[in-house]
């Protein structure tokens, strides 16, 4: 089939015409033979002078033509045979003379032509007809003056032009739904493409919205049509939903993904890179510093997390209050390098001597140089040993002061904007929920300034994380395809920064029910942003819509993409003089369907559409006023405008207040769960270390309590502690996972007492190997049983050591 592409096939009509001509020629030969029968002389020869008389006789008596076939001596059968042979020889000659010419006739220099109405209509949805959906206002249906439901129309097509619509059902036409829209400023990219397609109400939408005009025009309609409307507003950040990139670094199982964290930091560095800025050594080390601090924050969020029966962290129990970029900047402010020429040793890299006690080592380290951030990483190493966060930090920390300050400066440049109040609040938490875009109909508007690209990197990061999150959700939850198609209408695509691996993204998301609509002003923008991969991007858009423009390379590209047609030209030559002459000649040449200057001159109301495997279409831009849902837009009635002031970003203070309230609520819940025992008052008081206090109202209860603790104290094996010396474990009760933070008891409890505690508790009691070392008494017990339990109070005093996990009694 490939070798016949571009071949001009002979139409059925042409074959019929040729057949009629051949039959006429054969009949003329037959007619001539019958006339010759009336022109025969007595000697048996044909007299040409008598042929005219013979023609008249045949015309006056046509039946002789047919009767002559029965006469063996008639010239009619002979002439009929001669006519058939002559035409047959001619046809055979023409067929074999130049077979290639016959098949390519009329397309020698190109076969391009404009698509017709039939080809246009073949692309639209066939099975699913548009249907009506009642709009809702405050959750209630709306009625018109006639008492009928007010409804919006839902159509399963992508609007490309007035004449051409493309079905969302790709199995109907076997095309991907990616569209490249090119149009200069004022060509109507928003009015003739973005808004009409949002009015279709047939998918979820992610819309890059310069200045916020699309949201203002369509937001109210979307809400009334049942959509969840979310906004990332980089112009008025206080009127925005919150987007926290840290929320999307987990994999599909809810586990922390180191790759996603590195990718997030990498996007931050690349999308904030200035013109001419290179990925030099300082930038790479600054990136490593940010990665180290980010990993540290995630490790710290798990210090007091709960674990399930399989030892896996329960995601909801992580402390996420500090998982944001503002916390990263706060950590960075704690970083200091030892001053050059300082006599103090660097405490962070100080190592313990072989025979040195822990106490002596800590004393020596306390006199060395340690910055506050060093202590955080020392704490991490003490809790979890070797970690990626620690390894990365050691790489950037082990540098001279001037070099280290350069690393820090590089990281500060990339994160300074998160110190600004609006950005700090915008990214402190997440309620934009990218993961649900393909679960139900949702519209997310990304409002970016038209003249200031300072914060546009956040949109780049959002798109990057959204593609990853939706791909995982499609593959691991929905078997490969999202239940609701997600369309990204990416207006001003070149201004949102470079999305990593976008050439790969645009190729694979098609199978997951995601489509990308790349909107640019001209090809130069795309080439500038994606210098090496722009052709891959355009090649993965099966539809190209040109709305107008003047940029030279774009005009040439469109002209060449339309192809060439073959046209006839006639030459006329006239020579004057003593021997004047005139000549004419006909020839064929190839010509672009539209030359670049003609592409530039198309009327404002017209556009050019190129779809793979189809002839190009010369069309009219879609008239937005003709859409059945136009009456719901702000363009139709100002009362339909979406009020952006109804959207409010959660502030960092509100997040912290919410966290404190959650802690208070958890305390109240725990106190309610711990039932008061007879003759005993038990009170659990939560603090940062969650130390419950236990009081006894009677001597007998305290006596029983002390006796059981003593019996438990000497029944366990001794254990070693590298930090606190020789200790023995009195008892370790594991009754489930801690509630919010680690909860430990600072007095003594029996099996019976602990059994009355909530299941979600974790009580650990420690004691020195030799209990007689201490003489401090527990005030509450001493007042009740001073004489009877002198040995107990001498052995078990209020000696506490604040360790990494809470307050353990020793």
**What CATH number is associated with residue 190?**
3.40.50.300
Nearest-Å Rg of the Cα atoms of the chain is 43
Categorize the per-residue pLDDT at 104 as very low, low, confident or very high, splitting at 50, 70 and 90.
Answer: low
206 within domain boundaries: yes
Indicate whether 759 pLDDT > 70.
no
Give the mean pLDDT of the chain: 80
DSSP, collapsed to helix, strand or coil, labels residue 724 as: coil
Of 752 and 585, more confident: 585
21 within domain boundaries: yes
Categorize the per-residue pLDDT at 308 as very low, low, confident or very high, splitting at 50, 70 and 90.
Answer: confident
Domain of residue 194: give its range: 154-212+222-228+437-563+591-639
Categorize the per-residue pLDDT at 683 as very low, low, confident or very high, splitting at 50, 70 and 90.
Answer: very low
Q: Of 639, 670, 695, which closes a domain?
A: 639
432 within domain boundaries: no
Residue 517: beta bridge partners?
Answer: 179, 489
Categorize the per-residue pLDDT at 80 as very low, low, confident or very high, splitting at 50, 70 and 90.
Answer: confident
292 within domain boundaries: yes
Indicate whether 584 pLDDT > 90.
no
* Same structural domain, 418 and 441: no
Give 247-257 pLDDT, tens digit per residue: 999 998 889 99
- Write the DSSP string, 223-235: HHTT-EEEEEESS
3-state DSSP helix/strand/coil % of the chain, to nearest 5:
45, 20, 40
The share of the chain scoring above pLDDT 90, in percent, equals: 50
Indicate whether 697 pLDDT > 80.
no
DSSP, collapsed to helix, strand or coil, labels residue 179 as: strand
Give 764-776 pLDDT, tens digit per residue: 333 333 444 333 3
Of 468 and 664, more confident: 468
Nearest residue to 500 via CA among 292, 265, 281, 293 = 265
Structure-token pair, residue 165: 């619509």
Indicate whether 756 pLDDT > 90.
no
Note whether 607 and 548 are within 8 A (CB): yes
For residue 562, the model assigns a pLDDT of 94
Structure-token pair, residue 266: 């990498």
Indicate whether 754 pLDDT > 70.
no
For residue 685, the model assigns a pLDDT of 35
For residue 538, the model assigns a pLDDT of 96
Per-residue burial over 139-163, b = 16 or more CB atoms within 10 Å of its CB, e = otherwise:
eeeeeeeeeeebbbbbbbbbbbbbb
End-to-end CA distance of the chain: 87
DSSP, collapsed to helix, strand or coil, labels residue 577 as: coil
- DSSP code for 675: P
Of 398 and 81, more confident: 398
* Same structural domain, 375 and 463: no
For residue 738, the model assigns a pLDDT of 35
Note whether 758 and 795 are within 8 A (CB): no
* Same structural domain, 679 and 610: no
362 within domain boundaries: no
Q: Which residues lie below 8 Å from residue 112, measured CB to CB, with a gap of 6+?
A: 562, 563, 564, 565, 592, 593, 615, 616
Indicate whether 752 pLDDT > 50.
no
Give 171-209 pLDDT, tens digit per residue: 999 999 999 999 999 999 999 999 999 999 999 999 999
Categorize the per-residue pLDDT at 710 as very low, low, confident or very high, splitting at 50, 70 and 90.
Answer: low
Give 359-397 pLDDT, tens digit per residue: 888 888 888 999 999 999 999 999 999 999 999 999 999
Of 742 and 616, more confident: 616
Over residues 768-793, the mean pLDDT reads: 44
Of 319 and 178, more confident: 178
For residue 548, the model assigns a pLDDT of 96
* Same structural domain, 56 and 198: no
* Same structural domain, 412 and 455: no
686 within domain boundaries: yes
Over residues 77-103, the mean pLDDT reads: 73
Q: Of 578, 606, 639, which closes a domain?
A: 639
* Same structural domain, 630 and 658: no
For residue 701, the model assigns a pLDDT of 60
733 within domain boundaries: yes
For residue 141, the model assigns a pLDDT of 75
138 within domain boundaries: no
* Same structural domain, 299 and 254: yes
- Helices marked H in 416-551 — which ranges? 421-426, 457-476, 502-508, 523-529, 534-539
Give 413-456 pLDDT, tens digit per residue: 999 999 999 999 999 999 999 999 999 999 999 999 988 889 99
Least confident residue range of 190-204, 605-619, 717-731: 717-731
Backbone angles phi, psi at 713, to 5 degrees: -65, -35
* Same structural domain, 477 and 508: yes
* Same structural domain, 325 and 277: yes
* Same structural domain, 675 and 759: yes
Of 400 and 748, more confident: 400
Over residues 143-156, the mean pLDDT reads: 82
Q: How far apart are CA 503 and CA 505, in angstroms?
A: 6
Over residues 21-25, the mean pLDDT reads: 85
Indicate whether 713 pLDDT > 50.
no
Number of structural domains found in the chain: 4
For residue 391, the model assigns a pLDDT of 96
Highest mean pLDDT among 396-400, 571-575, 606-610: 606-610
For residue 474, the model assigns a pLDDT of 96
Over residues 85-96, the mean pLDDT reads: 79
For residue 22, the model assigns a pLDDT of 83
* Same structural domain, 171 and 200: yes
Over residues 685-703, the mean pLDDT reads: 47
Q: Of 578, 613, 639, which closes a domain?
A: 639
For residue 6, the model assigns a pLDDT of 43
Over residues 495-503, the mean pLDDT reads: 92
Of 611 and 14, more confident: 611
Give 223-248 pLDDT, tens digit per residue: 999 999 999 999 999 999 999 999 99
For residue 672, the model assigns a pLDDT of 55
The share of the chain scoring above pLDDT 70, in percent, equals: 77
Indicate whether 161 pLDDT > 90.
yes
* Same structural domain, 26 and 173: no
């Amino acid at each position: 089939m490939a070798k016949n592409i571009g071949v001009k096939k002979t139409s059925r009509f042409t074959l019929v015409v040729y057949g009629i001509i051949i039959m006429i020629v054969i009949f003329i030969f037959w007619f001539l033979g019958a006339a010759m029968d009336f022109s025969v002389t007595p000697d048996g020869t044909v007299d040409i002078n008598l042929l005219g008389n013979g023609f008249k006789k045949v015309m006056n008596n046509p039946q002789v033509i047919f009767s002559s076939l029965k006469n063996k001596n008639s010239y009619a059968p002979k002439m009929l045979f001669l006519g058939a042979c002559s035409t047959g020889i001619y046809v055979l000659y023409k067929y074999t003379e130049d077979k290639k010419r016959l098949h390519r006739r009329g397309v020698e220099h190109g076969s391009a032509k404009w698509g017709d109405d039939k080809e246009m209509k073949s692309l639209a949805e066939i099975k699913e007809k548009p249907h009506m959906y009642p709009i809702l206002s405050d959750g209630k249906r709306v009625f018109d003056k006639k008492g009928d439901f007010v409804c919006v129309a839902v159509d399963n097509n992508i609007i490309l032009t007035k004449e051409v619509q493309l079905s969302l059902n790709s199995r109907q036409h076997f095309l991907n739904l990616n569209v490249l829209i090119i149009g200069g400023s004022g060509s109507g990219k928003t009015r003739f493409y973005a808004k009409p397609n949002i009015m279709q109400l047939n998918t979820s939408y992610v819309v890059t919205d310069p200045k916020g005009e699309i949201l203002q025009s369509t937001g109210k309609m979307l809400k009334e049509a049942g959509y969840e409307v979310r906004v990332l507003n980089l112009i008025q950040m206080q009127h925005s939903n919150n987007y926290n990139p840290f929320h999307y670094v987990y994999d599909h199982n809810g586990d922390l993904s180191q790759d996603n964290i590195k990718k997030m930091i990498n996007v931050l560095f690349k999308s904030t890179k200035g013109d001419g800025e290179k990925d030099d050594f300082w930038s790479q080390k600054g990136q490593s510093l940010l990665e180290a601090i980010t990993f540290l924050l995630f490790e710290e969020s798990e210090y007091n997390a709960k674990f399930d029966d399989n030892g896996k962290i329960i995601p909801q129990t992580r402390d996420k209050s500090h998982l944001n970029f503002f916390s990263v900047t706060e950590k960075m402010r704690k970083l200091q390098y030892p001053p050059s020429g300082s006599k103090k040793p660097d405490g962070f890299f100080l190592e313990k001597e072989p025979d040195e006690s822990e106490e002596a080592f800590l004393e020596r380290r306390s006199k060395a140089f340690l910055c506050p951030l060093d202590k955080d990483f020392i704490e991490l190493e003490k809790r979890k040993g070797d970690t990626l966060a620690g390894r990365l930090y050691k790489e950037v920390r082990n540098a001279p002061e001037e070099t280290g300050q350069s690393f820090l400066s590089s990281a500060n440049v990339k994160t300074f904007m998160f110190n600004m109040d609006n950005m700090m609040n915008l990214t402190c938490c997440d309620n934009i929920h990218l993961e649900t875009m393909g679960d139900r109909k949702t519209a997310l508007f990304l409002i970016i300034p038209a003249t200031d690209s300072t914060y546009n990197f956040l949109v780049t990061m959002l798109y990057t994380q959204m593609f990853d999150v939706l791909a995982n959700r499609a593959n691991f939850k929905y078997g490969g395809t999202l239940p609701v198609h997600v369309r990204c209408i990416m207006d001003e695509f070149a201004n949102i920064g470079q999305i990593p691996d976008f050439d790969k993204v645009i190729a694979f998301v098609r199978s997951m029910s995601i489509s990308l609509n790349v909107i640019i002003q001209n090809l130069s923008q795309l080439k500038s942003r994606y210098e090496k991969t722009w052709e891959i991007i355009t090649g993965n858009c099966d539809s190209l819509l040109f709305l107008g423009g003047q940029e030279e390379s774009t005009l040439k590209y469109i002209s060449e993409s339309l192809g060439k047609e073959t046209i006839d030209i006639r030459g006329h030559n006239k020579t004057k003089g003593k021997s004047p002459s005139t000549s004419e000649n006909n020839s064929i040449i190839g010509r672009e369907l539209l030359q670049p200057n003609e592409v530039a001159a198309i009327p404002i109301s017209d556009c050019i559409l190129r779809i793979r495997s189809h002839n190009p279409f010369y069309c009219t831009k879609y008239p937005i006023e003709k859409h059945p849902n136009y009456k719901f837009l702000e363009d139709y009635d100002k009362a339909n405008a979406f009020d952006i002031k109804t959207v409010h970003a959660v502030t960092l203070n509100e997040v912290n207040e919410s966290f404190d309230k959650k802690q208070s609520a958890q305390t109240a819940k725990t106190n309610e769960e711990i039932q008061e025992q007879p003759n005993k008052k038990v009170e659990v008081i939560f603090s940062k270390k969650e130390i419950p206090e236990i009081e006894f109202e009677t001597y007998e209860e305290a006596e029983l309590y002390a006796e059981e603790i003593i019996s438990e104290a000497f029944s366990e094996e001794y254990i070693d502690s590298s930090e606190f010396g020789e200790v023995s474990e009195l008892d370790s009760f594991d009754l489930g996972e801690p509630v919010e933070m680690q909860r430990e008891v600072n007095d003594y409890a029996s099996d019976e007492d602990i059994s009355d505690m909530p299941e979600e508790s974790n009580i650990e009691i420690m004691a020195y190997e030799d209990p007689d070392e201490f003489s401090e008494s527990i005030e509450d017990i001493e007042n009740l049983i001073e004489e009877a339990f002198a040995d107990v109070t001498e052995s078990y005093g209020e000696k506490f050591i604040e360790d990494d996990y809470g307050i353990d009694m020793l």
